[in-house]
Structure 1
Amino acid sequence: MLHLVPSPLSQKTPKAPLLQADLHLVQQCKVWLVENAKPARAALGDFNMPVAIRDLQILEISKLDLNQRSALIEQCKAGEPIAVMSDAGCPGVADPGAEIVALAHKMGCPVNPLVGPSSILLALMGSGLNGQSFRFHGYPPLEPAQRDIWIKQTERESKSQNCTQLVIETPFRNDKLIEALLKQLSDSTLLCVGWDLTGDDQFIQTKTVANWRKQPPAPGKLPCLFLWLA
């Protein structure tokens, strides 16, 4: 079975991300398909693995071609449990792990998503915005003019459909996105900003854009989520 293993969200103060009842499943996995090896090794340190981490096979998904991926899925179908893990949070959500899961389905390999923290759902839970109709966009457009047009479009969609909009951003671009959101969104639109979710410096707050302009949020370089509802 292909186990989809959540990893800690906070890089500053990581916390064990798995249910105790699931720990034995991941401890059986000697092959790990991951987004990046360094954070994967750090996360594995919280799983009380029965063998040394250096003895595990930790493979970055982006470096595996289709033949290598297929061989690993066949290996999994033959009876060896294999784990998929993201840099932070749930694998397969805004994450290259989805490519492995899709291939597993295509090849008839069972998958097992394990319970763990999702920054998207935690932010939505803590926002007080509409949790029955929401849209996760991943990353906003990179080019500033396109991004500004896109922000306006998502606000119109939010208003017409009563739909919460969610995005993530590369941490070093947090300040630029905040500046754009406060400039392009209407005064009355509700904006939630959250960072370091599950960590010691966790922050999540919802205000109108007009109120945020008085004192803009300052996440610095921490991983951040942005949600708005017009």
Structure 2
Amino acid sequence: MITAKGTLYLCPTPLGNLEDMTFRAVRVLKEAAVIAAEDTRHTLKLLNHFDIRVPLISYHEHNKDERGPELVQRLLNGETIALVSDAGMPGISDPGVDLVRLAVMSGVTVVPLPGPNAALTALIASGLDTNTFTFIGFLPKTNKHRLAMLSKLSNHPHTLLFYEAPHRVRATLHELREALGDRQAVAARELTKKFEEFVRGDLDSIGRHFTENQPRGEFTILVAGRPAGEEVAEEPDSLAGLDVIQAVAALINRGINKKDAIREVASQRGLPKRQVYQAVLDSDLV
């Protein structure tokens, strides 16, 4: 006897206001065999509010490698599983994306439910361009990788959407100002909650606001895309006058890894990548 595969439901949960829970999400959670949650204690409060009596199982960044295959096996055995994040859409800036990949690879049906999402909620009230936008989420943790990403985004013409924790907001606003220039921006915090706030202006004024006021709550930071006609100087101009080794070193100092720096310089100079690599290897450049 062949057992029919189960279904993985992706259930958004409220950002803060419990009235944003949909009727469909409540029904799916009640009918699931198990609910996979980032923080089971946090999710239990939501389930109790809606009188949902379904077993919880933890699924988060630190156990996803072991727990993911277990959940997929249960799905293959015919169970219905609902995946939730602590708030908002599962699979966006959380390990839910990995479980979805495993389920898809195993031929399991994945059903997404519409619902709350912090980035889009902030965007539609920001006053910035909503026709074309790019979701970045959390910037990399290391300074080197963070600066490299911001450098790549400096010429991006679309509205940029970032997530940030309160203790990092001031530093991130400063980094955005340094990398992107003083663009129009919005800092949205505590979305859908009692102290929801939108701080609008340019990156300078928003930075001053949070220098004078302690950042509190979870933040979505939105930055306007590169203004038309204000392209950042291209790398060839900024590296003009430097020899190959100096050019590679300059890119590395900006946070670009050595491999990418070598490739970029080789492309700019019309040289074989192997030639630039050998020159770097023969130099004292680490």
TM-score interval (norm. to shorter): 0.7 to 0.9
- Which digits, 9 at most, give the CA deviation of each residue in 1:26-74, with x for residues without a partner? 111241222222222223233321x3x6xx13222432545x5334323
Q: Is the 8 A contact 1:8 1:43 kept in 2?
A: no
2:170 is the counterpart of 1:175 = yes
Q: How does 1:31-42 map to 2 (within 5 A)?
A: 31-42=34-45
Show the counterpart of 2:24. 21
- Which digits, 9 at most, give the CA deviation of each residue in 1:137-192, with x for residues without a partner? 222233446645644542322xxxx21111112332122222333455423x1111
Aligned-residue Cα RMSD (Å) equals 2.5
Q: Identity across aligned pairs (percent)?
A: 26
- Distance in 2, matches of 1:212 and 1:165, equals 16
Q: Is the 8 A contact 1:174 1:219 kept in 2?
A: no
Q: How does 1:1-230 map to 2 (within 5 A)?
A: 1-10=7-16, 14-49=17-52, 51=53, 56-61=55-60, 62-66=62-66, 68-144=67-143, 147-148=146-147, 150-157=149-156, 162-187=157-182, 189-212=183-206, 215-216=209-210, 218=213, 220-229=215-224, 230=226
- Distance in 2, matches of 1:81 and 1:153, equals 41
TM-score (norm. length: structure 2): 0.67
Which one-letter code corresponds to 1:46 in the other structure? H
Which one-letter code corresponds to 2:11 in the other structure? V
Q: For the structure 1 residues 130 and 219, does the alpha-carbon distance in structure 2 shift closer, same or farther, using more than 3 Å as the test?
A: farther
Q: For the structure 1 residues 130 and 195, does the alpha-carbon distance in structure 2 shift closer, same or farther, using more than 3 Å as the test?
A: same
Q: Tell me the matched-pair count.
A: 217
Which one-letter code corresponds to 2:63 in the other structure? K
TM-aligned CA deviation for residue 219 of structure 1: 5.9
Unaligned runs of 5+ in 1: none
Question: Which deviates more, 208-217 or 84-93?
Answer: 208-217
Q: Is the 8 A contact 1:6 1:17 kept in 2?
A: no
Q: Which entry has the higher C-alpha Rg, 1 or 2?
A: 2
Which one-letter code corresponds to 2:202 in the other structure? T
TM-aligned CA deviation for residue 94 of structure 1: 0.8
